[in-house]
């Protein structure tokens, strides 16, 4: 009986979501955000949100504005490293929730793709606002830190 949140799939070229995909199962309202020039005839017309392209991917300002017009005031981003990197690079992240598990792996996917951060001095600094133990895991919530004041020369 709970109200399901709006699912939004960012599929710039309309190639990831295929007919019969689970995300189209009707259990929650769903939008598929695609570029305005993407061939999306295989997707349900009422689920397609056409947006302008950006240098890479979709125009995130246009995406967030379209969601705002639909009454969306909060977005939980569960995308992969490319989408996460795009949101970080665009300065559109106001909270990060990460999970730390006591497990070591030899390899794995990166959390962020190109976020425009290539040196430690450019790193997005975070202030931890909450840590919660969940079984053996740890959930860490943080917000972007305020920029450090500029130093005056001597």
Length of the chain: 154
Residue 13: pLDDT band (50, 70, 90) is very high
List Cβ neighbours of 8 (8 Å cut-off, separation of 6 or more).
30, 31, 32, 33, 49, 63, 67, 75
- pLDDT for 69 equals 95
Residue 18: pLDDT band (50, 70, 90) is very high
pTM of the model: 0.80
CB 95 within 8 Å of CB 70: no
HSE value, Cβ hemisphere, 13 Å, CA-based, for 59: 12
Residue 59: pLDDT band (50, 70, 90) is very high
Q: How far apart are alpha carbons 52 and 61 in whole angstroms?
A: 10
């Amino acid at each position: 009986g709970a109200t399901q949140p709006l699912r939004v799939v960012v599929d710039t070229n309309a190639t990831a979501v295929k007919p019969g995909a689970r995300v189209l199962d009707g259990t929650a309202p769903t939008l598929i955000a695609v570029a305005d020039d993407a061939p999306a005839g295989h997707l349900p017309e009422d689920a397609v949100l056409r947006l302008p392209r950006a240098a890479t991917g979709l125009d995130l300002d246009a995406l967030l504005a379209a969601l705002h017009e639909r009454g969306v005031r909060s977005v939980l981003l569960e995308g992969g490293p490319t989408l996460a990197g795009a949101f970080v690079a665009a300065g559109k992240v106001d909270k990060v929730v990460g999970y730390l598990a006591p497990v070591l792996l030899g390899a794995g996917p990166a959390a962020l793709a190109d976020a425009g951060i290539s040196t430690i001095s450019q790193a997005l600094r975070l202030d931890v606002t909450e840590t919660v133990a969940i079984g053996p895991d740890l959930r860490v919530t943080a917000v972007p830190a305020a920029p450090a004041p500029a130093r005056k020369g001597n």
